[in-house]
Structure 1
Amino acid sequence: MGRERLTWGLLLRWGILLTAVCVCFHVYLETDWRGAPAPLALGHPTQSNQNWGQQSRSKQFSAEAEEQDKSIKRRISYVRRVKKGSPVGEREVTEDSSPPCCPPLHPQRKTPRWHINLEPWASESRSLEDEAKRFLNYITTPQVSCSSLAGDNAAHGAWAVCLDPKYSLTHRIQSKHCRVYSFGLGSDDRSLEHSLARSGCEVHCFDPSLKQPHLQQAEMWLHRLSVDWRDPNPAIVAQRRYANTKKLVTILRDFGHREVDVLKADMESAEWKILENLVLERVLDSVGQLLLELHLHWAGFEVGGDDPSVVRYWFSLLKELERAKFHLFHVHNDPAKPHLFLHKNILNASSAYTLSWVNMEWKP
Structure 2
Amino acid sequence: MGRERLTRGLLLRLGVLLTAVCVCVHVYLETRWREAPAPLGRPTQSSQNWGQQSRTKPDAEEQDRSIKRRISYVRTLKKDSQARKRDINREDPSPPCCPPLHPHRKTPRWHIDLEHWAGESHSLEDEAKRFLNYITTPQVTCASLAREEAAQEGTKGAWAACVDPKYSLTHRIQSKHCRVYSFGLGVDDRSLERSLARAGCEVHCFDPSLKQSHLQQAEMWLHRLSVDWRDPNPAIVAQRQYANTKKLATILNDFGHRQVDVLKADMESAEWKILENFILEGVLDSVGQLLLELHLHWAGFEVGGDDPSVVRYWFSLLKELEHANFRLFHVHSDPAKPHLFLHKNVFNASSAYTLSWVNTEWKP
**TM-score, normalization by structure 1:** 0.71
Match of 1:172 in 2: 172
Instruction: Give the total of aligned pairs.
Output: 267
CA RMSD of aligned residues (A): 1.9
What is the alpha-carbon distance in structure 1 between the residues aligned to residue 229 and residue 213 of structure 2? 21
Match of 2:121 in 1: 125
What is the alpha-carbon distance in structure 2 between the residues aligned to residue 237 and residue 305 of structure 1? 32
Closer/same/farther in 2, CA of residues 116 and 88 from structure 1, 3 Å limit = closer
1:48-84 Cα offsets, whole Å, 9 max, x none, are xxxxxxxxxxxxxxxxxxxxxxxxxxxxxxxx99759
What is the alpha-carbon distance in structure 2 between the residues aligned to residue 210 and residue 316 of structure 1? 34
Shift in Å at residue 187 of structure 1? 1.2
Query: Where does structure 1 lack aligned partners over 5 or more consecutive residues?
Result: 1-79, 90-107
Match of 2:137 in 1: 141
1:265-292 Cα offsets, whole Å, 9 max, x none, are 0000000000000000000000000000
Secondary structure (helix, strand or coil) at the match of 2:165 reads coil
Tell me which amino acid in the other structure corresponds to 2:284: L
Shift in Å at residue 88 of structure 1? 5.8
Shift in Å at residue 186 of structure 1? 3.2
What is the alpha-carbon distance in structure 2 between the residues aligned to residue 327 and residue 349 of structure 1? 22
Shift in Å at residue 149 of structure 1? 3.5
Query: Where does structure 2 lack aligned partners over 5 or more consecutive residues?
Result: 1-83, 97-103
Query: Sequence identity, in percent?
Result: 85
The answer to which structure has the higher helix fraction is 2
What does residue range 86-235 of structure 1 map to in structure 2 within 5 Å? 86-87=93-94, 110-152=106-148, 153-154=150-151, 156-235=156-235
Closer/same/farther in 2, CA of residues 351 and 148 from structure 1, 3 Å limit = closer
Match of 1:355 in 2: 355
Shift in Å at residue 185 of structure 1? 2.1
Tell me which amino acid in the other structure corresponds to 2:164: D
What is the alpha-carbon distance in structure 1 between the residues aligned to residue 350 and residue 217 of structure 2? 35
Contact 1:150 1:163 in 2 (8 A): no
What is the alpha-carbon distance in structure 2 between the residues aligned to residue 272 and residue 346 of structure 1? 20
Match of 1:5 in 2: none
Shift in Å at residue 148 of structure 1? 4.1
Contact 1:151 1:161 in 2 (8 A): no
Tell me which amino acid in the other structure corresponds to 2:114: L
Are residue 333 (structure 1) and residue 333 (structure 2) matched?
Answer: yes
User: Larger Cα Rg: Structure 1 or Structure 2?
Assistant: 1
Closer/same/farther in 2, CA of residues 148 and 224 from structure 1, 3 Å limit = closer
What is the alpha-carbon distance in structure 1 between the residues aligned to residue 95 and residue 191 of structure 2? 54
Match of 2:252 in 1: 252
What is the alpha-carbon distance in structure 1 between the residues aligned to residue 92 and residue 177 of structure 2? 38
Tell me which amino acid in the other structure corresponds to 2:121: S
Tell me which amino acid in the other structure corresponds to 1:194: R
Contact 2:146 2:157 in 1 (8 A): no
Secondary structure (helix, strand or coil) at the match of 2:263 reads strand
What is the alpha-carbon distance in structure 1 between the residues aligned to residue 344 and residue 142 of structure 2? 33
